[in-house]
Each structure stands twice: as C-alpha cells, then as structure tokens.
C-alpha cells in the first residue's frame, strides 16, 4: 500500500505545525531561537514535560484517566529531598532513594484506590493535588526562613541531573557530543534499513525505498543538527540522557510489549479486555504506580535545575503533561496515542514558551496565546483527520 503525499501530510500535521512555528519564531527573533544556547534551553527547560508526560500518557491510554497530583508531588518530594540533602546532610544517593521510596509508597496507595476501590482517578488525585502542596510548603516553611531550601551546595546531585557530559566552553565544538550524535544518526538509519529489509524478505508491506530514504535522511539530519548545536553549547546535558532513557523506555513498552498492548485495549474497551483474560485492575494499578515513579524522576531533574526546593515548584506541571499528550494526539478518551506524538506535542509547547520569552512578550498575554494555540493545534489536527475520512 503506497501512501499518497496528502496522506503523509495528514499523518504528520502536528510535526508540520511544529516546524512552521519554529521557523516563525526563528524569523521573529532574528535567528536567536536557532542559537546553540537556546537549543540547550529548549532541552533543559522542557525536560520535565517529556518525562512527566510519558507517565501521563500511560494513564491516559487506560481510558482518558489523568493524574492531577503530580505537580504538587514534585513540590513535596522536592522539599523532602532538599531537606535531607541540604539540611540533614544525607548523601545525595541515599536521598534520591528515599524520594523514590516515598513516591513508590504513594503510587501503591493511589494505584490501589483507583484500581481496586474504583475511585475515579481525577478525584483520587485531586486529594494529592491539595495535600502535597500543603505538606511541601509546610516542610519548607518550618525549615527555612525564606520558604525555600537551596541545594546549590550539593554538587554531586546537581552533576547527575543538571550537569554536562564532558563539558567544554561555549562555542567550542564538543567532540563527545558530536560523536554521540553521529552514532545515533547512523543507528537510526541502520534500523530503518534493516527493518525494511526484513519486512521485504518476509513479504510484508513496507515503505518504498524512496520513502525510507527520505525518512532516514530527515531523522538523521535532525539528530545531527541537535548534536551540533548542543556541542557548541557545551556538551550533552545530563538531563537529556534522563529524558532519552525515559522516552525510549516508554516508547519500547507501548509499541513492543504485551503489557503496553494491554494499556491500549483496556482504554479501548475495558470489558472486552477483561473477558479476553487481561487483568484490567492490575493495569490500572501499574498506570498510577508508574506515574508516581515518573514524578519522582521529574522531581530529581527539576530540583537540580532550579537548585532549590520552593513552594511553587511543580505548579501546573500536571497541565503541561496533559497538554503535551493531547497536542501530541493522545486520545482524551483512552486507547490511542504514541510516545512520538507526545514528544512532538511537548516540543511544540516548549518552542512556543521559549519563543515568546525571547520576544519578551507580556507574561499575561503569553498565557492567553498558549491557550489559544493549544486549542487551535488540536482542532486543526482533528479537522484534518476528519477530512481524511
């Protein structure tokens, strides 16, 4: 089955929107958007969205369920982590594990309530949304006069989550970064070629050679561009490694494994899934336990970037994660959505944020524009799909 050009366009509307918006901002900022520094900003500023939205995607797959508590949990866990590391002087490694344990305990409780007590997720997580903000603020205000605990002194922690691999100075080409970029690009191309070859060998449908070549060239070009820009910005930010691990992991889970498939069918038709032998309650439990773990990783990254825990940390993160998913084509009713889409959605939101900041637009109007653009992007996607039918 060969895809027509218009079909390819329709399948990739959001990607095209992303490119257009990016180019528009690049023009408007006279190229500043395209600078190595801002490439780096785009990655580090939005790392939390990529990570958090991976977990949110899993929740949404099960039937449009969401987690409202993750933003407040970031605040609470951040406060605990900062308290241990900066005030009690606990080693970063142990503090990280403590945060993880607390997150897992919360995830188990939440998962149990959602899966086995049948409390609607948005209500179950609304409790955490309120409670964790309160708890976090309380820890901060009783341990600091400013209501904020700095972790600037905990260098080990910052290095792991907000440092760079083999750092170099700005505008000096970072060799390890470029090398990794080249390897990644070659791997992607090889993967495309071999997967098409095996498909052809077994006589399945496969993209045409030109199509595969075009896709490979584009993908490799994007990877090399990012690697080049980051190399000039001082090297690979460690946070990118974390994002890559999380995104690749969930992309593998959703596309290749039985448990990932179960998430989709539970969201598509829970009763049919149950009668086909899928343990639907276990899937719901895993979704929310997993969400809590992802939130812990987000907390590490955010705490290290801000270098302090404060009471506004994580505000609206749940909304950012949900928007990234929805803009990325994840169904608000469950059963459909891909990690790739979410990554595009999150990047689009990040580009809009960064672009507006660079143009130093009024903060209040930035919110208005963001809201309108989100709605417009999703409406455009839905309409173009409808016309496709």
Partner 1 sequence: MAKILLEMKNITKTFPGVKALDNVNLKVEEGEIHALVGENGAGKSTLMNVLSGIYPYGTYEGDIIYNGETCKFNTIKDSEGKGIVIIHQELALVPEMSIGENMYLGNERGSKSRIDWDTTYVEADKYLKMVGLSESSKVLVKEIGTGKQQLVEIAKALAKNAKLLILDEPTSSLNEEDSKALLDLMLGFKKQGMTMIIITHKLNEVSYVADKITVVRDGSTIETIDNAGHNIDEDRIIKGMVGREITNRFPKRENVKIGEINMEVSGWTVHHPLYPERVVVDNVSMNVRKGEVVGIYGLMGAGRTELAMSIFGQSYGILTAGSLKINGQEVKLKKTPTDAIKHKIAYVTEDRKGNGLVLSQSIKVNTSLANLDSLASKTVIDKDKEYLVAEDYREKLKIKTPSVEQLVGNLSGGNQQKVLLAKWMFTEPDILILDEPTRGIDVGAKYEIYCIINDLAAAGKSVIMISSELPEVLAMSDRIYIMNAAKIVGEMKASEATQENIMAAILKSGRGD
Q: How far is the CB of 203 from partner 1 (least distance, A)?
A: 10
Contacts of 186 (CB under 8 A, 6+ apart): 220
Q: What angle do CA 255, 257, 261 make, to 5 degrees?
A: 70
State which residue, 195 or 312, has the beta carbon closest to partner 1. 195
State which residue, 30 or 202, has the beta carbon closest to partner 1. 202
The secondary element (H helix, E strand) that includes residue 274 is helix 270-275
Q: How far is the CB of 271 from partner 1 (least distance, A)?
A: 4
Identify the DSSP state of 88: S
Q: How far is the CB of 126 from partner 1 (least distance, A)?
A: 24
Cβ(62)–Cβ(267) below 8 Å: yes
State which residue, 21 or 332, has the beta carbon closest to partner 1. 332
State which residue, 249 or 361, has the beta carbon closest to partner 1. 249
State which residue, 319 or 388, has the beta carbon closest to partner 1. 388
Q: How far is the CB of 262 from partner 1 (least distance, A)?
A: 8
Identify the DSSP state of 4: P
Q: Which phi and psi (to 5°) does residue 329 adopt?
A: 85, 10
Q: How far is the CB of 266 from partner 1 (least distance, A)?
A: 9
Q: Sign of dihedral through CA atoms 136, 142, 147, 150? A: negative
Cβ(95)–Cβ(303) below 8 Å: no
State which residue, 171 or 276, has the beta carbon closest to partner 1. 276
Q: For the beta carbon of residue 95, count every other beta carbon within 10 angstroms.
A: 24
State which residue, 210 or 277, has the beta carbon closest to partner 1. 277
Q: For the beta carbon of residue 53, count every other beta carbon within 10 angstroms.
A: 34
Q: How far is the CB of 265 from partner 1 (least distance, A)?
A: 5
DSSP strand pairing (236-237 vs 164-165):
antiparallel
Nearest CA to 380 out of 329, 310, 315 is that of 329
End-to-end CA separation in angstroms for the chain: 17
State which residue, 249 or 365, has the beta carbon closest to partner 1. 249
Q: How far is the CB of 115 from partner 1 (least distance, A)?
A: 14
Rounded CA-CA distance 37/235 in Å is: 11
State which residue, 60 or 227, has the beta carbon closest to partner 1. 60
Q: How far is the CB of 8 from partner 1 (least distance, A)?
A: 16
Task: Please report the DSSP string for 279-293 in residue order.
Answer: -HHHHHHHHHHHHHH
Rounded CA-CA distance 351/353 in Å is: 5
Cβ(304)–Cβ(64) below 8 Å: no
Residues engaged in binding partner 1 (CB under 8 A): 1, 198-199, 202, 204-205, 256-259, 261-262, 264-265, 268-269, 271-279, 331, 335-336, 389
Q: How far is the CB of 317 from partner 1 (least distance, A)?
A: 29
Half-sphere exposure for 205 (CA within 13 Å, toward CB): 3
């Amino acid at each position: 089955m060969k895809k027509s050009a218009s079909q390819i366009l329709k399948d990739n509307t959001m990607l095209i929107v992303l490119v257009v918006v990016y180019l528009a901002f690049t023009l408007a900022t006279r190229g500043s958007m395209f600078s190595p520094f801002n490439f780096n900003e785009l990655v580090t500023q939005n790392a939390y969205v990529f990570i958090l939205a991976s977990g949110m995607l899993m929740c949404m797959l099960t039937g449009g369920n969401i987690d409202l508590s993750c933003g407040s949990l970031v605040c609470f866990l951040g406060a605990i982590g900062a308290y241990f590391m900066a005030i009690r002087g606990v080693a970063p490694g142990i503090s990280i594990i403590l945060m993880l344990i607390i997150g897992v305990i919360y995830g188990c409780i939440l998962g149990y309530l959602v899966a086995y007590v049948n409390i609607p997720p948005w209500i179950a997580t609304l409790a955490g949304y309120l409670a964790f903000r309160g708890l976090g603020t309380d820890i901060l205000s009783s341990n600091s006069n400013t209501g904020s605990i700095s972790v600037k002194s905990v260098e080990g922690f910052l290095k792991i989550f907000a440092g760079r691999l083999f750092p170099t100075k700005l505008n000096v080409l970072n060799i390890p970064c470029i090398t990794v970029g080249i390897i990644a690009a070659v791997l992607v191309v090889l993967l495309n070629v071999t997967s098409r070859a095996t498909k052809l060998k077994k006589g399945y449908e496969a993209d045409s050679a030109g199509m595969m070549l075009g896709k490979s060239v584009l993908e490799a070009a994007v990877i090399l561009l990012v690697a080049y820009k980051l190399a000039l910005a001082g090297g690979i930010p460690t946070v990118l490694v974390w994002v890559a691990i999380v995104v690749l992991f969930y992309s593998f889970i959703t596309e290749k494994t039985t448990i990932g498939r179960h998430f989709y069918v539970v969201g598509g038709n829970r009763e049919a899934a149950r009668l086909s032998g899928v343990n639907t309650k276990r899937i719901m439990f895993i979704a929310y336990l997993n969400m809590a773990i992802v939130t812990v990783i987000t907390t590490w990254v955010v705490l290290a970037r801000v270098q302090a825990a404060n009471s506004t940390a994580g505000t609206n993160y749940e909304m950012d994660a949900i928007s990234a998913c929805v803009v990325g084509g994840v169904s608000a009713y469950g059963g459909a959505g891909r990690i790739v889409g979410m990554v595009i959605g999150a990047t689009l939101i990040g580009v809009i944020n960064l672009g507006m900041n660079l143009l130093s637009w009024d903060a209040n109007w930035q919110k208005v524009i963001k809201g309108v653009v989100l709605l417009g992007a999703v409406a455009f996607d839905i309409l173009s799909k409808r016309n496709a039918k």
